Amino acid sequence: RRRNMHVPPGPKALPLLGNVLDIPKKDVHVTFRDWANIYGKDLMKVEMPGETLYVISNKKVMVDLFEARSAIYSSKPTMTMADSSGFKNSIPLLPYNARLKTSRRLLKQGLSPAAVRSYFPYINNRTALFLEALLKDPDDFVRHFTRTAAHTALKIAYGYEGVTEDHHLLHTAIETMEIFATVVNPGRWLVDTLPILDRIPVSFPFANFKRVQEESRPVVFETVSKPFEEVKKHLAEGTADGSFSSYLLQSEKPDPETEDCIRWAATSIFLGQSDTTTATLSWFTHAMVKFPEVQKKAQEEIGRVIGNDRLPEIQDRDSLPYVNAIMKEIFRWQPIISMLPRSVVQDDKYNGYFVPAGTYLLANIWAVLHDPEVYPEPEKFMPERHLKEGVPNPLDVTFGFGRRVCPGMQVAQSQTFGTMAAMLATLNLKPQKDEHGRDIIPETRTVDGLIRFPVPFKCAFVPRSEAALKLIERGAEHARSVPDRLERWSD
Ligand code: HEM
């Protein structure tokens, strides 16, 4: 029966090797977009050694499969390397099973709009402290983004007093995130294609991947367990704040399995938030250095709507449409995740093509966000395009689809918007000068990895005025004067 059904078209493949020799090491999404223009945007077949990929480059097909048929298209391909490195229960890697459903239900509660609103005062205060730290040490701006995102994530996930001052925890958590980015790397680890290799002993020659797994597991275990046990201790002592973990531990009265889901959901907040926010804000900084006219327009809007007496906050989003359009354009121009993996759990048919159970699907969201028919001149950074009627909102694509859509999208947008607006209100983001006094304009290139970062570049952060400097100082002073706690939320 299968033999009589159509497979999607795709580039010519070699026996055993498939298309692997034609796939570049970097910017695979660009090659896949170019191939999709020839072989089809709906479904395109790409052969890898031991695996057939179906690549989707059309938003309608992503919605048809991942949303309308989400009951069978919400699973994930197995990542043996990541599973054996301690991430088997991490939410982004879970297949669509009972555990995933429980975890998503918990995340939905803890990251609900009401819960996220209760985090606003904390995030706004953190932003003020970020501006102060940035001015003290501007060259290290990416590290400031990471530390702020990591602090916020730890606070939302665990909340107890002192969690953000625990340098060992912060260090271990950031290390866990780096391990995650290393071991979840489709194509890098042979064991992902040949899972049987996972059984070889660590002492085996060339078993470097086994040593990576052995070294990773205790670090991951510590990040997942230590702060969570601390929350339980604070709950028992009556000193817990209104964090994700403390709220769910109280409201769910969980059995051991549900408790383990809460434990991993809390870790997923950290894993989901830190690098993604850092990369997005790095692209924002990059864009502001390159496009000063956009920066100026945004600053005019902030001056007109907010004035100079206070810092803009997350709650100002609706009254700052141009700054909001910049955020949308950042997420469209440089989506920090370019392709979404999925696995289908039963045989299916779509537009006459056969999709066998277990097929590895890749949704090329970068291609959708760079489709010239939807976003003319897609390589150009043009926030204005989002102020026109009828332009599809990139935020509907950049955070994924259906039952696996990013559960942290409200936090992500709030933190990104708040930081962007506060930076624009107080600072001019300018190119640095070379030894001849000429502007160093960064090239728009990406570092290869799970999350798309711009290649390192320089930026000068210059306070816009004496009053802006005072605003930063006052904001930071205020942030230090209020208790470093999260309030409880209720739905
Ligand atoms: C700039 C920020 C962010 C972007 C662009 C982003 C994007 C994404 C995307 C594209 C996915 C996969 C969706 C799919 O497969 O359909 C995802 C999954 C996920 N994100 Fe985010 N994310 C961001 C921030 C966050 C934050 C702040 C959190 C937590 C507070 C978070 C938690 C997660 C989790 C737990 C998953 C896995 C969900 C699952 O597999 O069911 N993300 N994110």
Q: Is residue 459 part of an annotated ligand binding site?
A: no
Ligand 1 atom closest to residue 100's alpha carbon, by position in its atom list: 41
Question: In the predicted model, is pLDDT for residue 488 greater than 80?
Answer: no
Q: Please report the pLDDT score of residue 419 as a whole number.
A: 98
> Half-sphere exposure of 115 toward its Cβ, with a 13 Å CA cutoff?
22
Q: Please report the pLDDT score of residue 3 as a whole number.
A: 56
- Tell me what the pLDDT averaged over the chain comes to: 93
Q: Which CATH number fits domain 2-481: 3.40.50.460, 3.20.20.70, 3.30.365.10, 1.10.630.10?
A: 1.10.630.10
For 65-78, the pLDDT digits (tens) are: 999 999 999 999 99
Q: Please report the pLDDT score of residue 187 as a whole number.
A: 74
What Å distances lie between residue 214 and 87, 181, 218, 223, 325, CA to CA?
Answer: 12, 16, 8, 15, 45
Instruction: Answer yes or no: are the C-beta atoms of 472 and 132 closer than 8 Å.
Output: yes
pLDDT average, residue stretch 132-148: 95
pLDDT average, residue stretch 455-477: 96
- Ligand 1 centre to CA of 412 (Å) is 9
Ligand 1 atom closest to residue 92's alpha carbon, by position in its atom list: 40
Instruction: Answer yes or no: are the C-beta atoms of 367 and 56 closer than 8 Å.
Output: no
Q: Please report the pLDDT score of residue 462 as a whole number.
A: 97
User: Structure pTM?
Assistant: 0.95
- Ligand 1 centre to CA of 441 (Å) is 31
Q: Please report the pLDDT score of residue 4 as a whole number.
A: 61
Tell me which of 276, 334, 416 to substitute to probe ligand 1's pocket, judged by most ligand atoms within 8 Å of the beta carbon.
Answer: 276
The ipTM of this complex is 0.99
Q: Which residue has the higher pLDDT, 165 or 94?
A: 94
Domain spans of the chain, in order of start: 2-481
Instruction: Answer yes or no: are the C-beta atoms of 474 and 313 closer than 8 Å.
Output: no
- Ligand 1 centre to CA of 154 (Å) is 16
pLDDT average, residue stretch 20-26: 89
Q: How far apart, in whole angstroms, are the C-alpha atoms of residue 8 and residue 247?
A: 48
Is the CA virtual torsion 109, 147, 177, 278 positive or negative? positive
pLDDT average, residue stretch 105-126: 91
Task: For residue 489, name the pLDDT band (cuts at 50, 70, 90).
Answer: low
Share of the chain above pLDDT 90, in %: 82
Q: Please report the pLDDT score of residue 99 as a whole number.
A: 96
